[in-house]
Amino acid sequence: MTKILITGGTGLVGKHLQEVLKKNNHEVSILTRTPKKSNEFRWNIKEGYIDEKAFENITHIIHLAGAGIADKRWSKKRKEELIDSRIQSANLLFEYSKKLNIQLEGFISASGIGYYGAITSQSIFKETDAPENDFISKICIQWEKAALQFKTLEIPVTILRTSIVLTKTGGALNKINTPLFLAKLGNGKQYMPWIHIEDLCALYVKAVNNNTFTGIFNASAPEHHTNTSFTKTLAKVTRKLLLPFSIPSFILNLILGELSVILLKGSKISTEKTSQFYSFKFEKLNNALDDLL
C-alpha cells in the first residue's frame, strides 16, 4: 500500500486531493503548522523543522505548499513569501529525505503555467519551451529547480505546471463568477488556460500509480479560451448578464498593482504530452462549468 505525504494538504487542491487519494486506497499524511488529526504532523519552514514521524513508511511526497499567487498585492515582502513558501519548503523536504535516507518511489510537485511568463501570444507553449524572464516565471523556475534536486537522490520527479483550477467552492471560479469579472478584462484577448479540479487530482493519482508518468507536464484542459470567450461561456452557463463593457487595464493596475498581469496576460498551453498519458474528463469549458455550477 502506498503512503503519501502531502504539503499544502489543507489548501484548495490539497483538501480535494486527500479525498481522491483515499478513494483510490492510498494512505495520506499531512504536513501542517497546526496538526489536529492523527494523520497530521507539524512542520515549520522558518524553523527548518519537520516532525520525523511524518516520514514513517511513506512512499511518495506530493508538494503543493505555497502562498497564494493572487491572494495579495505583490509588495516586496509578498514576493519573498511567494518564493520562500515554495522553494524553502521543498529544500526542507529534500534535506530531511536525504538525512533520513527516505526511499521514495516519487516526488510530485506543483508548478504553474506562469513558467512561460505573463505574456499574450499566439504560441501554444509546450513543456520544452524556454521560460520567460518576469517575476511569475522566475517563481516557477526556482520552484521546479527545488523539486528536481530529488533526482540526485535517484527519486523520480513529476512536475505539474498547473493552470487556473476550477472548483465548486473557493478559488478562482468563485472570484470570476461575480459582476466585476463578468466583463471583458482589458482587451479580452488574453488566454485563460484552465483545468477542472477532478482532472488535476486525477493527474496526481496518475503520478502516484504510474511510474512512467515522470518529468514535466502541463496540467491544463485541451480547449483554449480567451478572457472574452471564457466569460461569455460562464455567463451562458450561469444565466447571468455579461456586462456590455470592458474593465480597462489601468483600473486593474490601480487596484491590483503588478499582480494585474495574471489577469491581463495569458497564452495557450499545449496538452499534447499530458494527453499521451491521460484522457481529460472535462475537455470543454461548458461541460466543466455545468458540472461545477
HEC per residue, the chain: CCEEEEECCCCHHHHHHHHHHHHCCCEEEEEECCCCCCCEEEEECCCCEECHHHHCCCCEEEECCCCCCCCCCCCHHHHHHHHHHHHHHHHHHHHHHHHCCCCCCEEEEEEEHHHHCCCCCCCEECCCCCCCCCHHHHHHHHHHHHHHHHHHHCCCEEEEEECEEECCCCHHHHHHCCCCCCCEECCCCCECCEEEHHHHHHHHHHHHHCCCCCEEEEECCCCCCEHHHHHHHHHHHHCCCCCCCEECHHHHHHHHHHHHHHHHCCCEECCHHHHCCCCCCCCCHHHHHHHHC
The model's pLDDT over 33-92, given as tens digits with 9 standing for 90+, comes to: 999 999 999 999 999 999 999 999 999 999 999 988 888 888 999 999 999 999 999 999
* Whether pLDDT at 279 is above 90: yes
Q: Where are the domains of the chain?
A: 3-292
Report, as an integer, the average pLDDT of 235-246.
80
Task: Give percent of the chain above pLDDT 90.
Answer: 77
pLDDT at 181: 63
Q: Does domain 3-292 have CATH number 3.30.360.10?
A: no
Lowest mean pLDDT among 87-91, 149-153, 167-171: 167-171
Between 170 and 166, the more confident residue is 166
Report, as an integer, the average pLDDT of 20-41.
94
pLDDT at 247: 83
pLDDT at 278: 97
pLDDT at 72: 87
pLDDT at 239: 85
* Whether pLDDT at 100 is above 90: yes
* Whether pLDDT at 176 is above 90: no
* Whether pLDDT at 225 is above 90: yes
